[in-house]
Structure 1
Amino acid sequence: MTDMKSTVSASDDTAGFVAEQWTRVTGVGVDPHEYRRVTGGLASVADWGPAFLRTGREHLERAEDAGSPLSAGTHLLAAARCFHSATLAPYAEAARAAAAADDALGRALALLEPGARRVSGEGFTGWLRVPPAGPAGPAGRGGDAVGTVIVVPGLDSAKEEFLDLASALLARGLAVFAMDGPGQGVLAASSVLVPEYEEVVGRVVDALGVPRVGLVGLSLGGYFAARAAALEPRVAAAATVSGPFRLDWDELPPPLQDMVVRRTGGVDAAREFARHVDLAGLAPRITVPLLVVDGGQDVIPGVTNGEPLARSAPRGTYLSVPHGDHLLGNARPDWLPRLADHLAHTLTGA
């Protein structure tokens, strides 16, 4: 469910799919002009993955020829974004593209942020990044002294997708752990989605060695983050972006059903997973400050947007951007600073 809307259109005309992916992929950080060059000659949606994989490899070549670590790291980040973008349409090599995105991001951070640390455990992997001038936490982990936010991806997103969000949080003095969970990103090839994401978050918090965290969940990750905020006591603040309050399997468009089937391992598992995506009983248990962000143009059959979550959570606040699409890639100034401030104020009191 990141991106639910563009997933729905994957089986439609190529031009329509390219148009709907525009705000998502440029929001990932792909240069708009490069996006037009890559997608302008596509004959079908099936050409999407190979085109972005090829472009990512071109950035790897530029990184090898770069004249400085800064330039090399910049090209590696561009490669990671392109490789991740390659996974956003049905593509036989999606697992290889996800692995390439993971590798390119790691190489980029090694050059640009030597303090970044890979953290992996049962059902998760990701990068802990600390603000440049921020104090180190326990054992130099970049811990609770600065506040730590976990960024939770969605149905077909990954830790490589939300680098602008991570930058906004880092700029406010927060440490950021951008992760892939079960069935997500580089782990999609070896695991399936699980509804009990609070257990995954609990293991992440243990591995980070901090007493409390903030959570940001995007698209389906919004459900995961809200569920964890209700059930994991070490979550101190939360925010969701385009997260579903409830799913109705029978009303979901077939392409979206197909995506859930692939990510859960079968039709029966997909139906059972969708049945769990219902926050009606959990929302009143979210007692931490919660910001719920929705786009007014984000309307998908079978998906209930987040207003009931904000209304039912005791400390919930609802931000609806009328012109925003799914993930609000077309409206970042309307929500991203406010979301980053919400977490910074709650976690650090700044």
Structure 2
Amino acid sequence: MTTSPDPTSPDLSFLDLPGFLRAFVEETRPRATGAGIDPHEYGRVTGELAAAPDWPEACRRAGRRHLAAADLADADGRTVTAGEAYRRAARWFHFAGLMPHPDRAAAAEAATEADEAMRRALARLDPAAERIEGDTHAGWLRRPAGAARPAVVIVVPGMDSGKEEFHGVTEALLARGIAVLAIDGPGQGVLAATTQVEPDYHRVVARVIDALTGREDVDATRIGVIGLSLGGYYAATAAAHEPRVRATATVSGPYRLDWPALVPFVTATLVQRCAGSTAAARAFADRVDLTALAPRIPGPLLVVDGGEDGIPGATNGEPLARHAPHGEYLLVPHGNHLLGNATADWLPTTADWLTAHLTAH
């Protein structure tokens, strides 16, 4: 009898290639530190890995250590310490999902653990944070202290990312008096197990803005979007289709994807985010092309790229900035993908740019 291949398990043979694990660890190191993971702890956790498939469980063990520390602090009434430890746990649980893995259920569990740890963190560090969710999205709305009806920036994650990753972006905007709604959309974070990636992400952003409209505690007439990695493409599509988006920033976002040239890590991740369908993943990649949409973006757009970001098969954002009517381009020559190695060279400037465009009269 012939056994059919598991449709939710793409070809992961590249995980066993000599040198892949160490290359992945080094490539991900700036991303981890940019997300707030201690670089020394990252070295300890990844230094013990014997094979690439060990990555998810090693990250989850790190998350559970912080979770246990948080529970102890919480029981002692040390609220801030507990909240910070829950947030560290959320980061590690999120990072467990970065490595494509045949056990999709385990990946879903890690995303759920990240979501729950972040809920506990915010309950202690920012009790006013509010869950905003619907069929297409799940996220946390946070408001700056003392601000009356602030503008809002929607933070859109990428292919293998989620709302637990970009704490630095959130904190930078909150410090400037901007409310932040960090979301998971289809195929992302806590929704990855039940939904597939969505090329028409502007529909997701529209639903999110609908949820914010009419509220008294934020100003839904002043909406910005920042998208990171594949989220940059999503943010650009929202800017082109959704007139309620006033200003948009993309960070390491692709202008175009070329499926035959993409590396196996990227294609395998896309296949998993498309419920195991290679055909659906390829069709999605073929849709990632801003050539026609860039000239249709009516509002201000800031495109941020790292000069050392060179993912095969992905065209970076310079053409987007050039073809958008009000595009600006910020190139950080030494920055890598997501510029975790150059945070000071792009994040303050980008947060200032969004704030200026959302608060100008």
TM-score under structure 1 normalisation?
0.93
* Identity over aligned pairs, percent: 57
| Alpha-carbon separation, structure 2, partners of 1:84 and 1:10 | 20
Question: Equivalent residues in 2 for 1:120-269 (5 A)?
Answer: 120-135=133-148, 145-209=149-213, 210-265=220-275, 266-269=277-280
Q: CA deviation at 1:10?
A: 5.3
| Alpha-carbon separation, structure 2, partners of 1:11 and 1:189 | 25
* Kept after mapping to 2: 8 A contact 1:84/1:98: yes
- Letter aligned with residue 155 of structure 1: M
Change (3 A) 1:10 1:230: farther
Q: CA RMSD in A?
A: 1.5
Partner SS, residue 87 of structure 1: helix
| Alpha-carbon separation, structure 2, partners of 1:134 and 1:208 | 16
Identify which of 108, 115, 130 aligns with 1:117. 130
* Kept after mapping to 2: 8 A contact 1:10/1:17: no
Identify which of 264, 271, 293 aligns with 2:304. 293
- Letter aligned with residue 70 of structure 1: V
Gaps of 5+ in 2: 1-11, 214-219
> Structure 1, residues 299-331: CA drift from partner, whole Å, max 9, x if none?
122111000000001110001111110001000
Question: Equivalent residues in 2 for 1:52-71 (5 A)?
Answer: 52-66=59-73, 67=76, 68-71=78-81
- Letter aligned with residue 110 of structure 2: A
Q: CA deviation at 1:254?
A: 2.2
Partner SS, residue 37 of structure 2: coil
- Letter aligned with residue 160 of structure 1: E
The answer to whether structure 1 residue 348 and structure 2 residue 359 are counterparts is yes
| Alpha-carbon separation, structure 2, partners of 1:89 and 1:238 | 29
Q: CA deviation at 1:176?
A: 0.1
> Which residue matches 1:89?
99
* Kept after mapping to 1: 8 A contact 2:304/2:329: yes
The answer to whether structure 1 residue 326 and structure 2 residue 330 are counterparts is no
| Alpha-carbon separation, structure 1, partners of 2:24 and 2:262 | 18
> Which residue matches 2:36?
29
- Letter aligned with residue 60 of structure 2: L
> Structure 1, residues 61-102: CA drift from partner, whole Å, max 9, x if none?
111111411111011001001101111112321111110000
Between 269-278 and 165-174, report the one with greater CA deviation. 269-278
| Alpha-carbon separation, structure 1, partners of 2:66 and 2:321 | 42
Number of aligned residue pairs: 335
Q: CA deviation at 1:275?
A: 1.3
> Which residue matches 1:142?
none
- Letter aligned with residue 56 of structure 1: G
Between 206-215 and 299-308, report the one with greater CA deviation. 206-215
TM-score under structure 2 normalisation?
0.90
Gaps of 5+ in 1: 1-6, 136-144
- Letter aligned with residue 278 of structure 2: V
Partner SS, residue 139 of structure 2: strand
The answer to whether structure 1 residue 75 and structure 2 residue 70 are counterparts is no
